[in-house]
Structure 1
Amino acid sequence: MPSRPQYALMSSKDKNMVLFICSSSAVVFFDFLIYLYMADFISLTFFPANIDPSINKLQGLGLFSVGYLARPLGGIFFGRYGDTIGRKPVLFTTMLITASSLLAMACLPTYQQWGLAAPILFILLRLVQGMAFGVFVPLTWIFIAEHLPRQYLSVGCSYVSASFFVGVLFSNAFFAWLTGSMSPDQLIDYGWRIPFIVAATLSFLPLLTWRFVSESPFFLAMKTLRPADHIERPFTLLFKHCKHSIFVGLMLTLIIASVTTVVILILPDLIELRFALDSDLFEFSHGLGIIFMIFGCIFYGLISNYENFGRILVIGCVLLIGQIFAFYYHLQAGGDYILIMYALLGFFAGIIGMIPAIFVQLFPTNVRSTGFAFSYNIMYAIVGALVPFGLGYATLIVSFSPALYIAFIGLIGIIMGLYFYRLPEFKQINKII
């Protein structure tokens, strides 16, 4: 199959493509996380008032989990269209769906105004957004992998991974400003709509670049060579030829989803259950950890361009296991150096930044979107729905539960690294079946 030379230099068009995908990814990740930060206020707005505040908290977290559960539906429904009608139209369609659903949420009436219709509509919109998000994330990695010269595959995918955590960092800063500048009553009254309006506006902006973004050269070449075969039942081809790749993809997603969910999203809440730390210092430490995780993603992406992927994955997971235990032992000792320990934890957790580069090579071109979206979102839904609640309960019993879980995930990463280390060179990324 004709494609770009393997060792071509990255052109200015390639750099613009990376910038476009990374900026869009950061925005969409911010969109998805709104519910995590606004769970209490959204629950009070769209559900009947409860005396027990823990019920309100669970209702809000339930809305956040709905987005995770919707992701496999999006992967199954939309993923195959990335292999049949093209990467570009599906990518922009998911952006449009995300922006439209956010704008609709910002305009929804409250429970006091519409009764049960309000939460039902909100949940439906959350499902739609979750479905779109489930396809958008895999497509960003695929889009980069199929546009850049082969020697930039790993670092290009790591840039995209890092951009998601830029979205988390922006979310922290934005919601710190929002909750600091408005009273709880104002947030319940109208302030909860502000992040949805901001997110919708930011999500509509990438749509203006439609005509400047080109379709994947791999998809175009596939369509030219096999105009009939490439649209034949991607799921049939996937389960006939790629069952092993699906299993490997599930394991790789387990690593990505677990490290992201625990280290970046829920670790502060889990730590507060068992350890007493200065809230301002700990909040700053968490932000610093995210910054260093961004650097870690890029670092591991760069070195995996030149070293064996399996070897780097093994070393990175060993370092992550060591640091998560050092982090918790430090907390138990008083947490005097929490800034340094959180920064190191974030940097070593950046090992997940290199994983998508190997993920996109698991599946042939004509089932890549279907296979990636299916395996990625199935496992992410399981982790996103079960791990926060499971670890929350386990932490009340054993304070080191998050460290033990990350150590278990690191062990899986080591096993996968040994597997890839012994694996011969991957087949060409432009292979089709």
Structure 2
Amino acid sequence: MNAIDAIAAGRQRPFDRRDAKTLALSALGGALEFYDFVVFVFFTKTLGVLFFPPDTAPWLSQLQVYGIFAVGYLARPLGGVVMAHFGDLVGRKRMFTLSVFLMSVPTLLIGLLPTYAQIGLLAPLLLLLLRVVQGIAVGGEVPGAWVFVAEHVPPRRVGFACASLTSGLTAGILIGSLLAAWINSRFTPEQVQDFVWRVPFLLGGVFGFIAVYLRRWLHETPVFTEMRERKQLASRLPLREVLANHRGSVLLSMLATWMLTAAIVVVVLMTPTLVQSSFQLPAALAFHGNSIATLCLVIGCLVAGLAADRFGMALALLVGAAGLAASTYALYLHLATGDATHFIALYALAGFFTGVVAVVPTVMVAAFPARVRFSGLSFSYNVAYAIFGGLTPPLIGYLSQTVGGLAPAHYVALTSAIGMAVALYLLRRPLS
């Protein structure tokens, strides 16, 4: 543990009103930004119809839109590495504010895009370009937000701090899910394709500018301020230091992120579309179930964070990963019987155990020293998310069509086993 980490660890002050304000503003801003990033996936079928040639097979157009969705993940390392570099050198808050501005602009522009019928092949190309910019923005937002809140609170409340931020991010998914459910129940498919699909993206642009305003009230983290005053900031290339001295932490963080990726992308983002195509559930029921599951995810994140602070992050990760695998299998096996009677309840259970993702940032924050924490966490998280998040949507979409409807559950179980392996390693070799 270096000098700055020792100073931070030595602060045993109680969790106070300033901490609560920081967490609340950070979580609310994160919710608005993450809504911008994920609302895309809730309108996959509509975008497939509008942005590709009309003679394209439905499954192929859906796969193509999943590919564009995945490009956002592939672009994340670029934004993550650049913003983390300056976050370690000039401050966490500046990058924390810049990322949300970069997200709001392309979201607004997607809502204004002309379709394939209007401009031909240029339509999907512009959609692809805007998705890349979104990926760059979120690549700096998520790691920066975790570091920001973790460095504001007392060390014994880091689990709750990271969980509250993660809960806020997932609340952004809930906003998107509720809006998609309302649109699908209120409007016909023809009305949605005509104009209504634009509304969520236009609202997202407005949400983004609100988030920028909210972050004006936040202050630089005490840990970074202390490092700057003591002239103990990272060298000119923090990432070089990470790759030279913390490769084990990078590997550990990437493996944990693989499980996080599968849980969010498959269980929360893709399941509403997958259950329609694989099990013929009505769109309204699918999105209603997703809304309830995402609400349970918000709660599950907070429970997981509290458990990490109370029982240790390794044990919280182990139990949560096991619950994630079991609940996802229960959901998809039930649907495979052709009976959707308990779909809502089982999806809610899977959503709650998906809350284990809130333990992952706690692990990553502890894995890197403060001077290179932003760069180490951002590199590990974004590269892993680019690889696994980029491959997962088209892979699951393809496997669901060729292998069968249980393919998503098999994949989540595989990554849960990896998460459990990380937890067992941490039980044997706790992070300092």
TM-based fold match above 0.5: yes
**Alignment CA distance shift 1:210-1:303 (3 Å):** closer
Deviation at 1:135, TM superposition (A): 0.9
Structure 2 match to 1:162: 167
Q: Does 1:33 align with 2:56?
A: no
User: Which range moved further: 347-356 or 175-184?
Assistant: 175-184
Alpha-carbon distance in 1 for matches of 2:115, 2:396: 32
**Alignment CA distance shift 1:340-1:181 (3 Å):** closer
Match of 1:355 among 360, 380, 389: 360
Per-residue CA deviations over 1:386-415 (Å, capped at 9, x if unaligned) read: 222222333342443222222211211221
Deviation at 1:319, TM superposition (A): 2.7
Structure 2 match to 1:318: 322
Paired residues, what number?
425
Q: Does 1:171 align with 2:176?
A: yes
**Alignment CA distance shift 1:13-1:382 (3 Å):** same
Q: How does 1:274-293 map to 2 (within 5 A)?
A: 274-277=278-281, 280-293=284-297
Q: Note if contact 1:3-1:221 (Cα within 8 Å) is conserved in structure 2.
A: no
Q: How does 1:62-101 map to 2 (within 5 A)?
A: 62-101=67-106
Alpha-carbon distance in 2 for matches of 1:252, 1:326: 23
**Alignment CA distance shift 1:198-1:163 (3 Å):** same
For normalisation by structure 2, the TM-score amounts to: 0.90
Per-residue CA deviations over 1:73-127 (Å, capped at 9, x if unaligned) read: 2122222111111111111111111122223333444455555555444332221
AA at the equivalent of 1:99: S
AA at the equivalent of 2:423: G
Q: Note if contact 1:50-1:56 (Cα within 8 Å) is conserved in structure 2.
A: no
Match of 1:239 among 239, 243, 248: 243
Q: Does 1:397 align with 2:403?
A: yes
Match of 1:24 among 15, 29, 34: 29
Q: How does 1:16-415 map to 2 (within 5 A)?
A: 16-111=21-116, 114=119, 116-226=121-231, 230-277=234-281, 280-333=284-337, 334-395=339-400, 396-415=402-421
Alpha-carbon distance in 2 for matches of 1:29, 1:113: 29
Alpha-carbon distance in 2 for matches of 1:66, 1:408: 23
Alpha-carbon distance in 2 for matches of 1:138, 1:199: 21
Root-mean-square deviation (Å): 2.4
Q: Secondary structure at the match of 2:11?
A: coil
Deviation at 1:142, TM superposition (A): 0.7
AA at the equivalent of 2:369: P
Q: Note if contact 2:48-2:61 (Cα within 8 Å) is conserved in structure 1.
A: yes
**Alignment CA distance shift 1:110-1:406 (3 Å):** closer
Alpha-carbon distance in 1 for matches of 2:425, 2:144: 26
User: Which range moved further: 4-13 or 365-374?
Assistant: 4-13
User: Which range moved further: 363-372 or 273-282?
Assistant: 273-282
Structure 2 match to 1:430: none
Per-residue CA deviations over 1:11-62 (Å, capped at 9, x if unaligned) read: 2221111111111111111101232123344445444443533443333223
User: Which range moved further: 137-146 or 313-322?
Assistant: 313-322
Unaligned runs of 5+ in 2: none
Q: Does 1:13 align with 2:18?
A: yes
Alpha-carbon distance in 1 for matches of 2:243, 2:407: 36
For normalisation by structure 1, the TM-score amounts to: 0.90
AA at the equivalent of 1:223: R
**Alignment CA distance shift 1:199-1:397 (3 Å):** same
Q: Note if contact 2:35-2:173 (Cα within 8 Å) is conserved in structure 1.
A: yes
Per-residue CA deviations over 1:230-268 (Å, capped at 9, x if unaligned) read: 242112111111111110110010011111111111223
**Alignment CA distance shift 1:105-1:242 (3 Å):** same
Q: Note if contact 1:309-1:421 (Cα within 8 Å) is conserved in structure 2.
A: no
Deviation at 1:68, TM superposition (A): 1.2
User: Which range moved further: 89-98 or 335-344?
Assistant: 335-344
User: Which range moved further: 68-77 or 58-67?
Assistant: 58-67
Deviation at 1:189, TM superposition (A): 4.3
User: Which range moved further: 370-379 or 2-11?
Assistant: 2-11
Alpha-carbon distance in 2 for matches of 1:210, 1:332: 45
Alpha-carbon distance in 2 for matches of 1:162, 1:320: 17
Q: Secondary structure at the match of 2:311?
A: coil
**Alignment CA distance shift 1:111-1:401 (3 Å):** closer
User: Which range moved further: 354-363 or 206-215?
Assistant: 206-215
AA at the equivalent of 1:160: L
AA at the equivalent of 2:38: L
Alpha-carbon distance in 2 for matches of 1:385, 1:207: 27
Alpha-carbon distance in 1 for matches of 2:331, 2:85: 42
Share of identical aligned residues, percent?
A: 31
AA at the equivalent of 1:256: L
